[in-house]
Structure 1
Amino acid sequence: MSTHSINDVKSLLVQVAEGDEQAFAQLFKLHYNQLGDFIYRITESKPLTQEIVQDVFLKIWINRSTLPAISCFKAYLMVVARNHAYNCLKQIAREKSRQKQWTDTVLHQAVSGQHETMSGNTAPDAGKLLEEAVELLPPQQKNVYLLSRQEGISHEGIAKRLNISHGTVKKHMVLALRFLKTHLRTNINILILIITTSFRH
């Protein structure tokens, strides 16, 4: 960058610090593409990159009074952008971890037969999802599942009570658990999407 260009940027910084919105727009336009390319190499996500670029410039506008003291705006901009990008990625990783934990907990309910509504950081609809999924099972699979998971009856005991073979009980349990896991995973992902979208709006 030439000395003239550096002086132009410093002049823009002073104007932005004084609240000049047109100068801020020029500053944004001057660095937008380069900053976007820099952030994209970190995030590998165009939507996230656009969001971070907007956040970074919003932060710069909010703290515009400090701009005249910055000796190299480009370096400052890249540091701010890099830190914000890494923070966003960490937040996304934590959110994915929480979602996975929630999904795994609900799926564990299907295997263990725990129908209580979960508390803590998990969604209150998790137990309800499982109950609704159980109601969708074919009658015999539902009977076998409930006898095993809710009443704790062994496969042998279920076979005697329902007057079916031990192999049939095992087959019904395998099919029931397979259906519950598939159904719950699908609906949990939909619920997560709905919740995430509602938070964004």
Structure 2
Amino acid sequence: MTEEQSYEHEELLTLVANGDESAFRELVMRYSGLLYTYIYKHIESKEASEELVQDVFFQIWLTRESLREVRNFRTYLYVVSRNQALNAVKKMMRDYQRHQEYQQWEQVPEPEENHLKRELQLSIIEEAIEKLPPQQKKAWILSRRERLTYQQVAQEMTISKETVKTYLQHAHQFIGKYLMDRMSALLLLLWVK
């Protein structure tokens, strides 16, 4: 590598660290193919690899100020991608576990009391979904009922994947709080009787 190329590379990182979006696009163009190949070798899923590349560069943009201290960007890129991949695997495991629990929950015959409690929870969740702002509601339905990926939801709604994540986080928080509030109130009423 020549002295000039090294300087261009350092200058590029400095520009990105300062918030220069065109420099960031250049950084993405330079490294996204390399990163995709690296990730794909490990997970062998085109869609998941593309999603992880996007997540890695999104994380780099969020923490761009730290690029000033980076001496070896390739190593930095691999460390960030490894961390993102580990987080993605943990999330997939949690989702798989929830799915398994949901299937077991659906298949096990329940005593009448548990069945009524579950029906009540489901109806309260439906109420909560109806009270969501329209965009959050649409994102939640596409993601949870139609089982679309964040990227597919983003394309369907013509918004960014990060906006989908934000909508779903807010929706989950609202639904969880709504369910807890309603169930607590109902349990209190039943206990008082």
Normalising by structure 1, report the TM-score: 0.57
| d(CA) in 1 for partners of 2:78, 2:2 | 19
Q: Which structure dedicates a bigger proportion of its chain to helix?
A: 2
**Which residue does 1:175 correspond to in 2?**
none
Letter in 1 for 2:100: K
**Which residue does 1:124 correspond to in 2?**
122
Q: Which runs of 5+ in 1 are unaligned?
A: 126-190
Q: RMSD over aligned Cα, in angstroms?
A: 2.8
Q: Is the 8 A contact 2:52 2:84 kept in 1?
A: yes
Letter in 2 for 1:197: L
Letter in 2 for 1:8: E
| d(CA) in 1 for partners of 2:18, 2:149 | 37
**Which residue does 1:62 correspond to in 2?**
62
The verdict on how the C-alpha distance between 1:85 and 1:198 changes in structure 2, with shifts beyond 3 A counting, is closer
| d(CA) in 2 for partners of 1:192, 1:17 | 34
**Which residue does 2:37 correspond to in 1?**
37
C-alpha deviations, 1:24-68, integer Å up to 9, x for none? 111100001110111112222211211111111111112111112
**Which residue does 1:47 correspond to in 2?**
47
CA deviation after TM superposition for structure 1 residue 192, in Å: 8.5
Q: Is the 8 A contact 1:40 1:49 kept in 2?
A: yes
Q: Is the 8 A contact 1:42 1:85 kept in 2?
A: no
SS at match of 1:106: helix
**Which residue does 1:84 correspond to in 2?**
84
| d(CA) in 2 for partners of 1:79, 1:54 | 15
**Which residue does 2:148 correspond to in 1?**
197
Aligned residue pairs total 132
SS at match of 1:109: coil
CA deviation after TM superposition for structure 1 residue 197, in Å: 3.4
Q: Is the 8 A contact 1:43 1:89 kept in 2?
A: no
Match status 1:101 vs 2:101: yes
The verdict on how the C-alpha distance between 1:28 and 1:192 changes in structure 2, with shifts beyond 3 A counting, is closer
Q: Which runs of 5+ in 2 are unaligned?
A: 124-141, 154-163, 165-193
Percent of residue pairs bearing the same amino acid type: 31
**Which residue does 2:177 correspond to in 1?**
none
**Which residue does 1:17 correspond to in 2?**
17
Q: Is the 8 A contact 2:143 2:149 kept in 1?
A: no
Q: Is the 8 A contact 1:52 1:84 kept in 2?
A: yes
| d(CA) in 2 for partners of 1:73, 1:33 | 15
